[in-house]
Chain A
Amino acid sequence: MTGSNLLQSICLTDIRIHDTRFQITVEKKDLSALIRSIKDMGLICPPTVWACDGTYIPVSGFRRIQAVQSLSGTKHIPCRVMPENAEIECAMQAVADNAFSRELTAAEQVKAVQLLNRYMDAEQMAGQSLGIFNRPLNPGYISGLLAVSTLPKEAVGLLENGKLSLKPARRMAAYDKAFIEVFVKLFSRIKVSSGKQLDIITSFTEVCKKEQMAPGLFFNEHEFQTLLNLDTLDLGQKGDQVRQYLTRRRFPNLEQARQKARSHLGRLLSNGPFRFNLPENFESTVYGVSFDFTSLDDFKTRVRSLSSLADHPDLKGMLER
């Protein structure tokens, strides 16, 4: 069977709906709204299919085809049919159809380059990116997405549900299998921003390297697991706790000094409306203090209260290095 890229009425049973080779979108189960719309207004935008071996493989409009299939009594659906010799064009169109209607999610970008990579390399994709992705992409970025596509499918699942962002996923792809497995497990149990994900990946890896410990062993340590199993915390809070724990483990002395300074500072701050600036990482010896005032009298009161802090044991404690 041959066809042209023109509208044809296709028998629904001739469409291999389970062949998802061109699908880059995430399957959404609930079709009820779409079915309602098709019932009320008809199929506004026909799906695209590829004529192949006497049947048709969906290129775009997977959900529309499924919705029409579920309408009782409907046997045919209008489709744009791509000819058999247009497999590459089908792949490009599968991506473009989505990319020109909205911004692709991270998971979709990964699936898109994985699909296109069957026919072209990163350089070629970059050259045609404006027409396919609706925006220019450089070869380095595309290579990063391709690297992410090599991660286990659970990792791509995390991308889909927003627990993993693209940049951390790209970083993960550079690690060996044992680390990747642990990161997949870890990120499935927390939810933090992309920057925090990167922090967690870096700290976790560096602790393992520093302490020469296998990632699985570290992950299964009692303290780590206790944090992840805390029922009282939501996924975001658990993520923050994990990040803080890793920082303490990675920088034990620095964190201890920070902790000590914070407790002194907490007690000092209860003595007046002052703001203290501690030297970053305790490298410099310059400390700062500031306060607001509303009048001369207010100023005098604050200065007196500030000067009384000079003998405060917590100020001395904070300055002790």
Chain B
Amino acid sequence: MTIQRVFLDSSLNSSEEIDEILSRLSVEPEPVADPCVVYDLINQADDPVGAAKSLLFITRNKGAVVRPCPGTSHYTCCDYTILHTGTFCTMDCAYCILQAYFHPPVLQYFAGLDQLKQPLTHAFSQNRIFRIGTGEYTDSLIWEPITPSPRFLVNTFAGQSNSLLELKTKTVNVDSLLNLDHNRKTVLAWSVNTPEVIQSEERGTTRLNARLKAARRCEAKGYPLAFHFDPLVLYDGCETAYAQVIHDIFSHVRPESIVWISIGSFRFMPSLKPIIENRFASSTLCYGEFILGLDNKMRYFKPLRIRLYRKLVDLIKEYAPSVRVYFCMEDPEVWEKTMGFFPGGKGELGHLLDRAAVSHCRLNPDLL
């Protein structure tokens, strides 16, 4: 998706960061004093979600920069911390929750690296482990080719020992990061899916093979890696196809380089369904066997989730017995039936992941 218009919050002071972004976008910025100008423009479009992907609003984050991941009720969450660097995405995935999450969706880049410094310094000074990611409300690396932000974060995290930064992406935008002295504090993570799902449900993302090659380049530079099978989509032949993805991962990178692999099947707020139906007319994503979950999100009928999870977990364990595999938002029954245990105590899943973080990223083990 190409950026067609750039709106610049007129309250922003000029800075090297903004100059760098603007110099790399061949679009004249339009100053706006009131963000409603951008919101209205998006809301008036026939397809606000699609329109929002080509309108970049460079502004400042007016809320909390560092915030705990909201998780979801009834399903086990991993106590993740979100670093809020921007919203929405230039790529376009049918299953993307962000289509229904923001009202309206706005492609925002939060300028002001100084704004990130203070809350991060605060986190770095605490006696606990943080797993911090920027990929909850956006893709972590969409702006890598035109902004200094990912470089800044990798460098900032390199100088401390209690926090891991996870940059989660479907791009291959890693060039500017390869030669940084990351001190293993940044995990480069890819969301992966089968080539069929990538082809049918993702627009503007990179192919699986390209993602895995980028992962291999990062591995060669000493970066710890992670993979997220999220969302798993159930279709005829999906078990074989996901098994092939696992095989492909391990034929590109070594198990020792992988901090964790997460697994989560497609789940969605009911309000996402009409959006997918309107925006992705040929997608069959919504027509799986979904039921209303305990958190009021649609999920695949549980035995179907468990059947696929079992296959994937067993296979991953064959390739990489010691890699931490975890579920994103699943319940005790799913854990027990697929992993044989349930990290049900308060903060237990988080603690398991902290341990993986400590051992792969050389964080302070005394903080466990």
Contact = CB atoms under 8 A, between A and B. Distances in A.
Q: Do A and B bind each other?
A: yes
Interface of A: 206-207, 209-210, 212, 250-254, 257, 280-285, 321
A254 B301 contact: yes
A206 B303 CA distance: 21
A210 B301 contact: no
Contact of B304 (A210, A253, A321): A253
A209 B291 CA distance: 18
A252 B333 CA distance: 22
Given A281-B302, A285-B331, 13 more contacts: A209-B284, A209-B287, A210-B287, A250-B287, A252-B289, A253-B289, A280-B291, A281-B292, A282-B291, A283-B291, A283-B294, A283-B302, A284-B74
10 contacts: A206-B286, A210-B287, A253-B289, A253-B301, A253-B304, A254-B301, A281-B291, A281-B301, A282-B301, A321-B303
Main secondary structure of the interface of B (DSSP, over half): mixed
Main secondary structure of the interface of A (DSSP, over half): helix
A282 B303 contact: yes
B43 to A, nearest CB: 17
Interface in B271-291: 284, 286-289, 291
A210 B333 CA distance: 28
Given A212-B284, A321-B303, A254 B293 contact: no
A165 B332 CA distance: 44
A85 to B, nearest CB: 39
B284 A210 contact: yes
Contacts of A321: 302-303, 333
Contact of A251 (B289, B299, B331): B289
Nearest to B290: A251
Contacts of A281: 291-292, 301-302
Interface residues of B, number: 18
B335 to A, nearest CB: 12
B294 A254 contact: no
A257 B303 contact: yes
Contacts of B286: 206
Nearest to B287: A210
A251 B301 contact: yes
Contact of B293 (A209, A252, A283): A283
A206 B273 CA distance: 12
B302 A282 contact: yes
Listed from nearest, the 6 A-B pairs whose CB atoms lie closest are A281-B291, A210-B287, A206-B287, A254-B301, A251-B289, A285-B333
Interface in B290-315: 291-294, 299, 301-304
A93 B289 CA distance: 51
B150 to A, nearest CB: 39
A303 B303 CA distance: 33
Nearest to A208: B287
A281 B301 CA distance: 7
A253 B331 CA distance: 20
Nearest to A252: B289
A190 B287 CA distance: 25
A243 to B, nearest CB: 17
Contacts of A212: 284
Contacts of A285: 331-333
A285 B334 CA distance: 11
A286 to B, nearest CB: 10
A178 to B, nearest CB: 15
A207 B288 CA distance: 10
A254 B289 contact: yes
A206 B284 CA distance: 9
Contacts of B287: 206-207, 209-210, 250
A191 B88 CA distance: 46
A149 B43 CA distance: 29
B75 to A, nearest CB: 10
Contact of B294 (A206, A252, A284): A284
Contacts of A280: 291-292
A151 to B, nearest CB: 20
A253 B333 contact: no
